[in-house]
Structure 1
């Protein structure tokens, strides 16, 4: 298992070990995922950096014969879903750093459509599975099948209430509080919260956490929370909201939307009325699902839900053995970040 440096000299695992300041057996443990050998994240990163610096190439066929590993991870999701594409972006980055490939599988959330991945695992064609799930997903049938097969598994966004299932999640409660801090406000003028929904308001823990965060933020400042729910694509509802100002001075209050998909309709409604976004209508979104908020005119201030980083973290959780040798379970909670935009003026933003 060797490659060649730019000098033409054959690079071996001894060279990698010397560059990283570790033993050859530890390099082998990092490359092959050898069970029972604890490797800290810092040491693992040193070895991986040495591999990159030296352009060390692993003989995949020889390694597979020796270790029984395919060096391939299955990613399950719908390619038409922009969130899945972002998760794939992160998975690909993390897999490439570890000498792995990503196999894309399926497009349905139905459990039966997932079982083919377990067959691939039994055939040693994949070494583990990452799924992008709906926020409220927690199928007992699927996780029982995974455990029966003994397959390493991590859910992105699913199994939030199951501590014994490994999953990567976003701190939606914290994301809304950071958005509200960015918008700011006074007792006379502070944001209202608009909860868009597809079929049923507050149907999963993420949306409930978002609303609770708004209510907590208001309570901490002695403000009365103002929450409206509406179907995400109900343009008539948005027209009515804009045409009936609810502040004492007759102006529209600042608006925090949970979903950016509805922000487009607000922009359109404002344009029809000759209203200036960021002045007569201050607006911010609790996500940036389609990565298009910066291209709206004016740019829409928003929260960036870190789907690419969630994909990276899922691969780390799947492939990097815990330092203490514990089972791969538990949660990884990631913080969202604020993306400023002209839809929230500087003097209003935090």
Structure 2
């Protein structure tokens, strides 16, 4: 084990021996903390002592030498679109889980060129990363990419992708359960029960997440003997939303509660309601089934929503990547969402 840094008062570079002496442990235990050596248990207090000694002595591990010795870089690649705020949430969780295990996160930005993904395989062959986590679109299932992953042998986990592909490790949100919880939160009666508005953006085809949401809504209504009411619209089609509000209000029965699939789709709905003098949270009860941009608190009134746990999904992806003993390689992990209250759904 080699390292850089200088011991106090001597000006000499600190070594693992210096760290072991300062922490009152053996050098093998220091190595176990730094390298995560399997089979050597290290208690939390001992680990804290070693980490404190490393910090106090400014001990720095020579990553290249360690990789040659252990075959590990102690670094995980995170791949996703840097313009996507959801990717930043995944990174937040990955960073937390990696820090707990003495790992670092290497961020690989996504572009239109599929070569970006292939470049990460070269990093693995060069021992510069120990695995890859990607944040994918929910409909992403590239057989060509998985073939290259398997050929290289790199540990790999997709967040949100490959829901329908067996043998590929994925961390996924339980969208069925999240919609059931949202509908229970909204409530309703036989005369006024939630209508489901489904916004779409680039492609009108439904991916697995949207299919799960719709299925959950239909099952929830059917269990109560109510007829599901689903409307689809382009996420920027404010004109359609305005017409829907006008026609529904003109029917004379009042506006039903609305569950909209994405929070971004609620923004034009807010505008359409405001232009027509419809008060959200009063005349119109509204909730989003997915707070895609964490924008609910910035709307007025605040938007009640389902919070998809992207940070926790990043954490779980790292655990699945680095701790295969938790489950077989290629398993699926489904995480539950939570309700984020807002003034658009009055309670109490």
Give the TM-score normalised by structure 2: 0.86
CA distance in 1, matches of 2:24, 2:144: 44
The answer to which of 146-155 and 47-56 deviates more is 47-56
Q: How far apart are 1:289 and its partner, in Å?
A: 1.5
SS in structure 1 at match of 2:271: helix
**Equivalent position of 1:78 in the other structure:** 81
Matched positions, count: 333
Larger deviation, residues 172-181 vs 81-90 = 81-90
Aligned to 1:286: 289
Deviation string for 1:174-229 (max 9, x for gaps)? 11000001101111111000111114445211000000000011111111111111
Cα separation, partners in 2 of 1:49 and 1:205, compared to 1, 3 Å: farther
Seen in structure 2, the aligned counterparts of structure 1 residues 331 and 225 have a Cα distance that, compared at 3 Å, is: same
1:144 aligns with 2:147: yes
1:127 corresponds in structure 2 to 130
In the TM superposition, what are the counterparts of 1:264-275 in structure 2 within 5 Å? 264-275=267-278
Within-5 A mapping of 1:202-213: 202-213=205-216
Structure 2 CA distance for partners of 1:185 and 1:149, relative to 1, 3 Å: same
1:79-118 aligned at under 5 Å gives the runs 79-108=82-111, 110-118=113-121
Q: Is this contact kept in 2: 1:16–1:50, CA < 8 A?
A: no
Counterpart residue number, 2:176:
173
- Cα distance in 2 between the residues matched to 1:124 and 1:141: 23
Q: What residue is the counterpart of 1:233 in the other structure? A: 236
Equivalent residues of 1:27, 1:47 under 8 A apart: no
After superposition, the C-alpha distances for 1:270-324 in whole angstroms (9 at most, x for unaligned) are 111222110111110011121120121111000001111111111111112415x
The aligned counterpart of 1:337 is: 338
3-state SS of paired residue (2:248): coil
Cα distance change, pair 316–26 in 1 and its aligned pair in 2 (3 A): farther
Q: CA deviation at 1:250?
A: 2.6
Looking at CA atoms only, which structure, 1 or 2, has the larger radius of gyration? 2
Q: Which shows bigger deviation, 286-295 or 234-243?
A: 286-295
SS of match in other structure, 1:251: coil
Return 5+ residue gaps in structure 1 as ranges.
Answer: 19-23
The residue aligned with 2:13 is none
Q: Deviations over 1:74-127 (max 9, x none)?
A: 111111111111111111111122221111113136533310000111111111
Contact kept, 8 Å, 1:121 with 1:151, in 2: the verdict is yes
Whether contact under 8 Å (1:16, 1:47) holds in the other structure is no
Change (3 A) 1:152 1:14: farther
> Tell me, which stretches of 5 or more residues in structure 2 are unaligned?
7-16
Q: CA RMSD in A?
A: 3.0
Q: Does 1:187 align with 2:195?
A: no
